[in-house]
Chain A
Amino acid sequence: MRHAPRSPALAYGRRHLAKRLVSRRRNARWLAGSPLLPSIVGVAMLVCAAVPSAVLACHNIIAITVDELARRVTHAEKRLTEGDTVGAVQVLRFALGISRGGAQGEYELAADPRSPGVARVRARGERLLAVAVVRRDGLIDRPRLRAGWVPDGVRAANFVWAERILGNARRDSPDAPVAIARHAEALARIPGRSAEALTALGELDRRDLVPDAWGYAVLARLADTRHDVAARDRAVRQCTTLGGAHAGAVCPSFESMR
């Protein structure tokens, strides 16, 4: 049995996809025989596969297996957790590109951004990009979704953008430790707001709710700037424990500890 699309927006997306492909077929006769054709067909197939399924039954298990967008966002999240920020941005380039609707040429056909399902996954991807911006020291060309050098003004604007995105996520889920910790990461990079970051992460630490090694990495750095060596060393130990095999890429090391 084929499940009917739950969302009218997704149904619209599929109709739109079919219509656009038909209209483009007329305009693309010149492509016949072109050496570009196999590549274009390949991209089109990939794009079609990336249409998020209307059925996300059984929750994450099926969604992450069959939904290309969800799978890529999850992959980016994993890279980010492991400390591979550049790799995460590379994965996000495709995931966010196809879900922006209109900004990426052919990719616009892939997913209707008005669909609530796509919007949620895209928002999750944007949050990941914001985290990557913070962890990459602001050095990400956001419009092109590439890690690399950017002018100081852009870097500062990146931090402001990341704080806004992660602050909104925290407002949406005020008791979610992941949202709190990631917002705190962003706050810690904004001059004059590190005290807020320390308060938020300290509270999570007190309740044993710091969600990952990154939270402790920020705590360690904040403690170091306050010359609180005991707190810093404890945070580094916690970071190392939670980071596991990826602790080397995540946790800071300090002169006095070596």
Chain B
Amino acid sequence: MARRPARSCGPACGLAWWLSLSVVCALADCARGVAHTPEVPSSPERGAAPDAEAAERRAEHASGDVQRAATRDAIVRGAALAVRFECTRCHAHAELAGPPDDANCAGCHAQVARGTLDVGADEATQALWRAHVRSYLNVPSLTYLGARLRRSAIAEMVQAPHDVRPHLAETMPRLAVSAAEAADLAAWLAPEAEAPARALPHDAATLAHGRQLVEELGCGTCHERCGEHIPARPLRVAIDAESLTRGIALAPDLAEVPTRLRRDRLVQWLLAPRTIDPETTMPALPRSRAEAEAIAAYLSYAPIVPRAQPAAPVRLPLLGRRVTFAEVEERVFRRSCWHCHSEPDFNEGDGGPGNTGGFGFAGRGLSLASASAVRSGARDDAGLRRSILRSAPGETARLVEVLLARQREEAGDVRALRGMPLGLPALSAEDIQLVESWIAGGAGE
């Protein structure tokens, strides 16, 4: 696997680096050390034939050029792609109809959490579900995303998702999106041209003032900025508990500001966020334009302190006892895998994205709902069914490979093989040990 060179932004970057307006710095995802760029052969941006649009986006990033208005064709293509990739399974968008109830991941989880999912379950069952549901309770809406985010940042996020929100366990799933498709989706979400932004003063005194304001106004209640410690001071405005919980969950890492946010909207976003996104929970904190500009300067130009990067967990040895399928099902398959790899017979033919297809993926035919289904394997890229449990001596079964891949992805090592569960936290080393031990014991009942 070829890693993209590290774009480290530690103290070694130095004063000259950040004074040279190198906004690319923040792209380095704090101290992850590697960019989240999977090897996707079909992707023109990553492959041998970069397309003009991708090159343009990179140039835009590097030079700080403003984005131009998206073409009508790109917007139309992007809207169609949003349907194809089923963005509304998780995200809301005012222009798109919501998905059917049985494909509405975020909607279903929200109803379970509120206790309003009316499917005839008794109170005890609903309480059990409520206790289990942790993911997709807070998902950003797409409706006003493009009003504050740069198109290039959206495209990069769609094609090579990385963890932007430190308090949110789930991340944008790695979909099979080409560079051209990512550009079209971003054009649909952020069609407008960016106005030239007035250069902000960014002398040392301004940056120090901005840093002080970030702390004083309580930005640290919700936000982090890589490895920098921002104390959580009380907010100076009242905010209800539900909005605060949602705000903390969705608050992006402030180190992403230089590359993610539109430069022409940054100060306005800080001053009056609801004028840009009426749905946001972000409160208006600065007391004056001068304060907002100082904060914007600090977020745009101050060097980023690296964050300690957690390593992937150590792989545990096989258990010295027989593991039954019931055990693996209870602890692993039933908790998260089943959602995307289920039995189509019980859902009018829809076995989930990992079985009958969805999220833009072709059906792999993989159900994890029973031992016999797991042993039935999955279709490979050529459409040939293969075992996900078989392994040659010295090799690892495909099922375990994808689980380990997700642990690696969380540690910043992103490869061609998609980690599972897609977009959800990796399984613990103990859970993977259980799966591996079940396979080693013959994968029986």
- A residues apposed to B, CB below 8 Å: 1-3, 6-7, 49, 53, 55-67, 70, 74, 77, 81-82, 116-117, 120-121, 123-124, 175-178, 207-213, 238, 241-246
Contact = CB atoms under 8 A, between A and B. Distances in A.
Interface of B: 100-102, 104, 108, 111, 116-121, 125, 322, 324-325, 334, 338-339, 342-352, 365, 369-373, 375-377, 379, 385-387, 389-390, 441-445
B437 to A, nearest CB: 14
A44 B103 CA distance: 32
Contacts of A178: 372-373, 376
Given A6-B101, A60-B369, A208 B390 contact: yes
A175 B378 CA distance: 10
Main secondary structure of the interface of B (DSSP, over half): loop
Contacts of A60: 338, 342-343, 346-347, 369
Nearest to B335: A61
B347 A244 contact: no
Nearest to B349: A120
16 contacts: A6-B100, A53-B120, A57-B117, A57-B119, A58-B102, A60-B369, A117-B348, A120-B346, A207-B387, A212-B371, A241-B444, A242-B375, A242-B445, A243-B444, A243-B445, A244-B324
Given A56-B346, A245-B445, A209 B102 contact: no
Given A56-B346, A60-B343, A120-B344, A177 B377 contact: yes
A208 B386 CA distance: 8
B125 A211 contact: no
Contacts of A3: 101, 118-119
B346 A67 contact: yes
A82 B338 CA distance: 22
Closest 4 CB pairs of A and B: A241-B442, A59-B342, A211-B372, A244-B445
Contacts of A245: 324, 445
A75 to B, nearest CB: 12
Contacts of A238: 442
B375 A210 contact: yes
Contact of A63 (B101, B322, B346, B386): B346
Nearest to A173: B365
Given A241-B442, A243-B445, A244-B324, A61 B347 contact: no
